[in-house]
Amino acid sequence: MECHGNRPVTISVKFLMSSPEIASLSWGQMKVQGSTKTYKDCKVWPGGSRAWDWRETGTEVPPSTLEYLEKQGIDVRVLQTEQAVKEYNALVAQGVRVGGVFHSTC
């Protein structure tokens, strides 16, 4: 959101990029398609990925976050990491633009 004077202006961006596949997962290591980095934990979204330090937000998803996302019409799934990667990659294979936060040591 940008602020012009006293009026907030919301800028909406539509992603046309696809979500990157999670190429591999092992204890403490994740590789994401399109990245040369090996992540311990990562965030992925249509068009990119980055390392995620779970200390930023903790590993638990607050109920208020889930409620907010669901009110926005966003399907949220909280799963064990191996299952989450399988489900995420299945959605990517179907062409769904999907994002996720993954903790490889859980």
Mean pLDDT taken over the chain: 85
Give burial (CB, 10 Å; 0-12/13-18/19+) of 48.
middle
Amino acid 31: pLDDT = 97
With pLDDT > 70 as the criterion, what percentage of the chain qualifies?
85
pLDDT mean over 14-39: 90
For 98, phi then psi, to 5°, come to -135, 155
Task: Write down the pTM of the prediction.
Answer: 0.78
Q: Name the pairing type of β-strands 7-9 and 100-103.
A: unpaired
27-53 pLDDT per residue, tens: 999 999 999 999 999 999 999 999 998
90 three-state secondary structure = helix
